């Protein structure tokens, strides 16, 4: 057999192998897609509980008054914003809190000395997870906010920890404002 015939035979074998590989790939892909789409030929099992297994109970859902709701929302938002900052947005979180604060708290926020002299990125994202009303009357409230803090460094490594915040509110002209805030 000469070299030219061998080359032709090898080319034919290579093309046949490629076609078979492509055909197998297409068949596998179509099988996976039909399973993912839920188009299997078997019917899903049907769960039918007997009526004796079902028990209904009245669940008491705690309801908040509109006053409690607005105070809790303010405390949650305030804690999340107060605790979220980065070296890229120096002090923006504090400026956002000014309209939600009493004059006393505004003065405190304006006098916080920011030290962002670092060359490396640092950021903190705070999420408000839980709340509990410590005390509340018509014009004053104290709310404890449980937060999750995610600290991110310049290598985008995250450190997660939890911290409570005490938020003291006063009512001014039918609107709650934050008068004191501190981390516990």
CATH of the domain at 165: 3.10.450.540
Residue 142: which residues within 8 A CB-CB, separation 6 or more?
133, 134, 135, 136, 166, 167, 168, 169
**Same domain? 88 vs 24:** no
**Same domain? 6 vs 89:** no
**Same domain? 16 vs 72:** no
**Same domain? 26 vs 86:** no
All residue ranges of the chain with pLDDT < 50 are none
**Same domain? 80 vs 166:** yes
Residue 184 in contact with residue 155, Cβ under 8 Å?
no
Residue 37 falls inside a structural domain: no
- Kindly report the average pLDDT of the chain as a whole number: 83
The whole-number pLDDT of residue 27 equals: 82
The whole-number pLDDT of residue 6 equals: 81
**Same domain? 1 vs 82:** no
Residue 53 falls inside a structural domain: no
**Same domain? 98 vs 157:** yes
Residue 84 burial (CB count, 10 A): 19
Structural domain of 19: 1-30
**Same domain? 19 vs 75:** no
The whole-number pLDDT of residue 43 equals: 67
**Same domain? 179 vs 126:** yes
Q: What is the pLDDT of residues 43-56, one digit of tens each?
A: 666 656 555 555 65
Residue 138 falls inside a structural domain: yes
**Same domain? 26 vs 96:** no
The whole-number pLDDT of residue 56 equals: 59
Residue 133: which residues within 8 A CB-CB, separation 6 or more?
68, 71, 72, 141, 142, 143
Q: How many domains in the chain?
A: 2
Q: What is the pTM of this model?
A: 0.64
């Amino acid at each position: 057999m000469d070299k030219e015939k061998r080359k032709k035979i090898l080319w034919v074998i290579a093309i046949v192998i490629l076609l078979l590989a492509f055909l197998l790939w297409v068949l596998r892909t179509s099988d996976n897609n039909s399973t993912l789409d839920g188009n299997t030929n078997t019917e899903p099992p049907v769960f039918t509980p007997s009526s004796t297994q079902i028990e209904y109970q009245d669940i008491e859902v705690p309801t908040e008054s509109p006053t409690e709701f607005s105070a809790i929302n303010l405390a949650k938002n305030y804690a999340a914003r107060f605790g979220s900052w980065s070296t890229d947005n120096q002090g923006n979180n504090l400026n956002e809190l000014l309209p939600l604060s009493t004059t006393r708290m505004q003065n405190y926020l304006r006098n916080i000395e920011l030290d962002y002299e670092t060359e490396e990125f640092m950021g903190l994202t705070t999420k408000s997870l839980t709340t509990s009303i410590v005390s509340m009357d018509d014009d004053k409230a104290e709310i404890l906010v449980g937060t999750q803090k995610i600290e991110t460094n310049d290598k985008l490594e995250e450190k997660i920890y939890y911290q409570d915040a005490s938020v003291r509110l006063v009512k001014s002209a039918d609107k709650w404002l934050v008068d004191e805030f501190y981390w516990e």
